[in-house]
Structure 1
Amino acid sequence: MNGLIAMPSIQAPAAVVMVRPHRFTPNSETAADNAFQSLAAKEAAQAVGGAAHREVTAAVERLEAEGVRVHLFEDQGDRDTPDSVFPNNWFSTHPGGHVAIYPMHAPSRRRERRADVIEMLKSRYRVQDVIDYSGLEQDGLFLEGTGAMVFDHLARVAYTARSNRADPVALERFSTHFNFEPMLFDTADEAGRPIYHTNVLMCVATEFAMVGFDMVPDQRRAAELRARLQESGREVIALSARQIADFAGNAIELSGRDGRILALSQRALESLTAQQKTTIQRSARLIPLSVPTIEMAGGSVRCMIAGIHLSLRGA
């Protein structure tokens, strides 16, 4: 960043919600459509759960050391919520005091929604309204938060990969209420399966974006995605299918004490090329977090972090 501190950005929240798991395990209920997931059949559940608990603890400490405000919640272990470590899927926050609660595809994931998280947001931040879309589950309509949608808060675009976790009807309803332009597109991995969540495919930061264009089979649509990102003034970094598999797209830009940072996993960092790292570091410092156990569940650092795009009370 040439010695300069990057200015704060509404794209890069300074506060986040994270959940420390107590009974973490890859979720067999979500494995059917999550090709990034690997079941830990040969490892004791207790060992896997303990490792995940330690990984979240270390990640929180690292982010707090960088000056990010972390609201850490403990997993409610009696509710059978193996994916609770990924809170970004069930709620999102937005500038102006708006909060959304989302319909989740897997029944086990619906139990992750917590009133205490919403109450904390209301007590610590300026919340004007909470719109709850979870009733759409009864109609078979799902939209899994900032997993299903990758937001450009600056240009007001909701990039969304079509899947059974991102229904176009639910997306249209959300976009109308929250004033986003929906940009829906189809994806496919090497086996022709849709990518389960958009946020493993792309990351939109303030001055750059990382996208796995090779996994968008319609080349015209891929070109439209690239053009839309470039129109917003961002430098676009193309990620390979191998880098996507290593969770390079599952990163999140945050505002720390000394400027903007890009939080990503150690595995993701190691998959990036020198040129890609240079591009990122023009505007954000790379902060790798070691989360190999959590990545067994098919998500990485971005999935673990729910950004708070709200104003603090009294600020």
Structure 2
Amino acid sequence: MLTRDFNAFLDFARHCAPDFGPSTANAAFLVAPDGFGRAIESASDNHYMADAAAFDAVRASTQHRELQRALSDVLPTICFSGDPAMPDAVFPNNVFGTAAGRLVVGRMRHAVRQREAGRSDIRQFFGDTLGYAEVDLSHQEHPCELTGALVIDRARGLGFCGLSERCDETGAALMHEAFGLRATLMFDLAPSEYHTNVVLAILAGRAALICPDGFADPAAVDAIAACYAPHAIRLTAAERAAYAGNAIALSSESVWMSATAAAGLSDASRAALADAGFAIRSVELDAIEAAGGSLRCCVGEIY
């Protein structure tokens, strides 16, 4: 099922058992912020991105290394080198995604990021080392920025795809098929938003962090919240701006977000996460966040 019909999706999703696959990744991969800087093209539709003067490449590299070290306590986490010609390639989950035995390569909207899809080392790692089949969407014309645009409930095989300049309906359909999902709900993001994963996180298939002001239609928020009640946590605009919606569960016991995001959480949101069985783990990433993304954006999941 691929639909914009909130009620039809909800009726279907309620009957999906958590037997589609593991709810969290088996391993993770990062791309180092080598040559880290402000990409003018990316900034054109990413209002979270800071001015060039706010970029600190040395601090970004140090924080990114600490992120790898912290994640490695939970699951195997590898890091590919960066490339100075790709200044915001630190967010690989937009370009490379995985499903069981498959590598999906997305098509980025901006040329500065389309270069990332051509990286032979990442493709060879998944193809030659892990033996994954490749689904290459990078050469077709429809933008589909993978798990930036498409937030996936891996336990139930459900997708939540926010449409913007970074992903159109055809791109959503291509990703739905590439990841082999049971059902995907399409909805419009608010005009100011570029990626779904800044305003929505599905945590280990049993809870959701939702930023209502990031959605064009409140009915989409209600439908998603109904899927994850009683653990649908609605975040405030201030929490969204601190990147609290850009979180990820890498185990069934904890949710990861940046230190900025964790500090921005309200007491109510903290209590709701605890009630859902999640401890909060955080890493300083303010230097990385200058590029308009946060912790979840940095993490490529390996299933």
TM superposition score normalised by structure 2:
0.87
Q: SS of the residue aligned with 1:11?
A: coil
Give matches, 1:108-187, under 5 Å: 108-113=112-117, 114-127=119-132, 129-136=133-140, 139=141, 141-180=142-181, 181-187=183-189
* 8 Å Cα contact 1:203/1:209 also seen in 2: yes
Task: Check conservation: 1:28, 1:39, Cα contact below 8 A.
Answer: no
Cα deviation, 1:278-299, whole Å, max 9, x if unaligned, reads 3323423211110101101110
Instruction: Tell whether 2:256 aligns with 1:263.
Output: yes
Q: Provide the residue aligned with 1:205 in structure 2.
A: 203
Quick one: which of 274, 277, 297 aligns to 1:283? 277
What per-residue deviation string (whole Å, max 9, x for no partner) do you get for residues 16-50 of structure 1?
01011121012111111111111123x5x6xx111
For 2:272 and 2:227, the matched residues in 1 are separated by 19
- Shift, 1:60, TM fit: 0.9
SS of structure 2 residue aligned to 1:108: helix
Percent identity among equivalent residues? 27
The residue number in structure 2 matching 1:226 is: 225
Equivalent residue, structure 2, for 1:3? none
CA 1:31 to 1:60, structure 2 compared with 1: closer, same or farther past 3 Å?
same
- Tell me which of 290, 293, 303 is aligned to 1:299: 293
- Residue 60 of structure 1 corresponds to 68
Q: Given the alignment, which residue of 194, 197, 207 partners 1:196?
A: 194
Distance 1:177 1:112, change over 3 A: closer
How many aligned residue pairs are there? 279
> Structure 2: which 5+ runs fail to align?
1-20
SS in 2 for 1:16: strand
**Structure 1 residues 14, 178: closer, same or farther in 2, change over 3 A?**
closer
Once residues 277 and 124 of structure 1 are traced to their aligned partners in structure 2, the CA distance between those partners, rounded to angstroms, is 40
Q: In structure 1, how many angstroms separate the alpha carbons of the residues matched to 2:148 and 2:70?
A: 23
Shift in CA distance, 183/51, structure 1 to aligned 2, threshold 3 Å: same
Deviation sequence 1:118-144 (CA, Å, 0-9, x none): 2222344352x21000111xx3x1010
RMSD across aligned positions (CA): 1.8
Structure 1 contact 162–194 (Cα < 8 Å) conserved: no
Q: Is the 8 A contact 1:161 1:195 kept in 2?
A: no
SS of equivalent residue, structure 1 residue 288? strand
Letter in 2 for 1:308: I
Q: Which residue of 2 aligns with 1:82?
A: 87
TM-score by length of 1: 0.83
Q: What is the rounded CA distance, in whole Å, between the counterparts of 1:70 and 1:91 in structure 2?
A: 15
Structure 1: unaligned runs, 5 residues or longer: 1-8, 310-315
Runs of at least 4 residues off by over 6 Å: none
**In 2, Cα distance between the equivalents of 1:14 and 1:277?**
26
Q: Deviations over 1:44-99 (max 9, x none)?
A: x6xx11111111011111122x232111111123xx1011111101010012x121
Given that 1:22 and 1:50 are in contact with CA atoms closer than 8 Å, whether structure 2 keeps it comes out as no
Partner of 2:302: 308
The reply to whether residue 250 of structure 1 matches residue 230 of structure 2 is no
